[in-house]
Amino acid sequence: MKQNWTGTAASAAFLIVLLSAAPSFPQTNNDEELLRTRETVWRAWFEGDAQTLEKLVPAETIVMSSGSKPWRRQADVLRASAEFHSQGGKLLRLEFPRT
Alpha-carbon gap, residue 50 to 35, rounded angstroms: 20
Alpha-carbon gap, residue 92 to 28, rounded angstroms: 31
Q: Is the pLDDT of residue 84 over 90?
A: yes
Between CA 46 and CA 96, with CA 18 as vertex, the angle to 5 degrees is 50
In order, the DSSP letters of 5-43 are HHHHHHHHHHHHHHHTT-TTS---S-HHHHHHHHHHHHH
Q: pLDDT per residue over 13-30, tens digit each? A: 666 655 555 555 555 567
Three-class DSSP category at 81: helix
**Mean residue pLDDT across the chain:** 79
pTM of the model: 0.63
Tell me if 35 sits within 8 A of 79, measured CB to CB: no
Taking alpha carbons only, the member of 78, 93, 71, 84 closest to residue 4 is 84
